[in-house]
Amino acid sequence: MDLPLNPPVEPMLAKAAKSVPRQPDGPPAWLYEPKWDGFRCIVFRDGDEVELQSRGEKSLSRYFPEVVAAVLAELPPRCVVDGELFVPRPGGGRLAWELLSQRIHPAASRIAKLAEETPAQFVAFDLLALGDEDLTAQSTSVRRERLVAALAGCGPSTHVTTATFDADLAVRWFTRFEGAGLDGVVAKPLDAPYRQKERVMTKVKHRRTAECVVVGYRPHKSLPGIGSMLLGLHTDDGMAFVGGAAAFTTARRAELLEQLSQLRTGEENVQGEKNRWNARVDDSWVPVRQELVCEVEYDQLEGYRFRHNPRFLRWRPDKAPEDCRLDQLETPTDYDLADVLSGASGSRS
C-alpha cells in the first residue's frame, strides 16, 4: 500500500458530555452527526488493495469480506476513510448490534456464511486522504465537503453519514434516531484538524438507570472474586436475563464474591450461552437467591437485554425484587434506519 496515510492510523476520539454543545452567537462552530453504534473502522484503499482497520489498530478485513468487496466497488480508487461498520436488522428498520458482534468469529466458514446471511455495511464520517493528498491537517468543514464530494453516489453498501450545523436538529436526532438503534450525537469543531488519538470531538450518549435483581455471578478467571454479576428483571412469563455488570476493582470483586457466595442456591456451574469467539471458554455461572436489588446505569436495549454491559451504581435495599420488572425500561419509538442513511430527516451537509 502506498497512500498518504498507511495503516495503522490511530482514530480521532471523543470526550463525553451531558448535552449537545452549542454556539450561542455568530456563524456555526460545530458539525453534528448521529453517533453510530457499530465497529469503528478506518478504510484504506489503494487500487485493488483494501485494509479495514479497527479502533484498536487490528485488521477487520478477514471478518468482513463483503465490505472489502463493497469498498472496491463503491469507494474512490485511492482513499482513507474513517467510519463505522454496522449490520442492519433483516428486513430493515434499525441496527442489529447482536448480529454485528457475531461477525468476529475464528472460523472462515462461519465468516463466509454470515457475510452472506447478515452482510455488514459501512458509513463514512471523515475523509483522511484522497489520491495523493493527506487531508488530516484540513479543518472539519473542509474534510466534510471533500467527503461528500468524493463519495457522491456511493452505495448500496457504503454511505456518508448525515450531518447538520443546526444544534436544535441535533437535539431532535438524539431522541429520534435512537429508535433506529443509534447511540446519541457527536459534535465536531468545524475549525479542527484530524488529530489522531486526541479527544477532539464531543459525544452525547443515552444514559438511563434501572433497578435489577441479582440472579447469579460468574467467577473471575484469574482473580480472586467475581468476573461479572448477572442481572434479571421480572416479566409476566418469569425472569428475563438482561445482562451483567462487570466493571469492578480487584478489591470489590473479592467483596462481592464473599457477599454473593452466602446466597448460593446450591446449584453450581449452570451452563450459559456459548462464547461466540471461543467455544472452549467456560461460560458457566453460579445462581443465587434472588434477594438483592441493585441500580445500574445503561445506554440502550437490544431486544430485552442491555446492549452494552451496564455499570453498577449502588445497592437498593429499599426495592423489593418482585417490583423490578422489565416494563420499567424505556423503549424508544421506532425510527427507520433507511431514513437516517438517506438524510431524509432534514439534515444539511
pLDDT in tens, 222-239: 888 999 999 999 998 999
- Is 208-328 in the same CATH topology as 13-205? no
Strand pairing report for 311-315 and 184-189: unpaired
Catalytic residue among 15, 35, 188, 221: 35
Q: Which residues pair with 134 in a beta bridge?
A: 129
- The CATH H-level superfamily of 208-328 is Nucleic acid-binding proteins (2.40.50.140)
- Whether 247 shows a pLDDT value over 70: the answer reads yes
Q: Verify whether residue 58 is a known catalytic residue.
A: no
Domain positions in the chain: 13-205, 208-328
Residue type, 158: T
Q: Average of pLDDT values for 217-224?
A: 90
- The CATH H-level superfamily of 13-205 is DNA ligase/mRNA capping enzyme (3.30.470.30)
Tell me what pLDDT residue 23 has.
79
Q: What CA–CA distance (Å, rounded) separates 229 from 324? A: 16
> Could you tell me how far CA 64 lies from the centroid of its own chain?
17
Tell me what pLDDT residue 346 has.
41
DSSP secondary structure string for all residues of 233-280 = EEETTEEEEEEEE----HHHHHHHHHHHHTTB-S---B--PPPSS-TT
- Which pTM does this prediction carry? 0.73
Q: What CA–CA distance (Å, rounded) separates 95 from 35? A: 12
pLDDT in tens, 110-157: 999 999 999 999 999 999 999 999 999 999 999 999 999 999 988 899
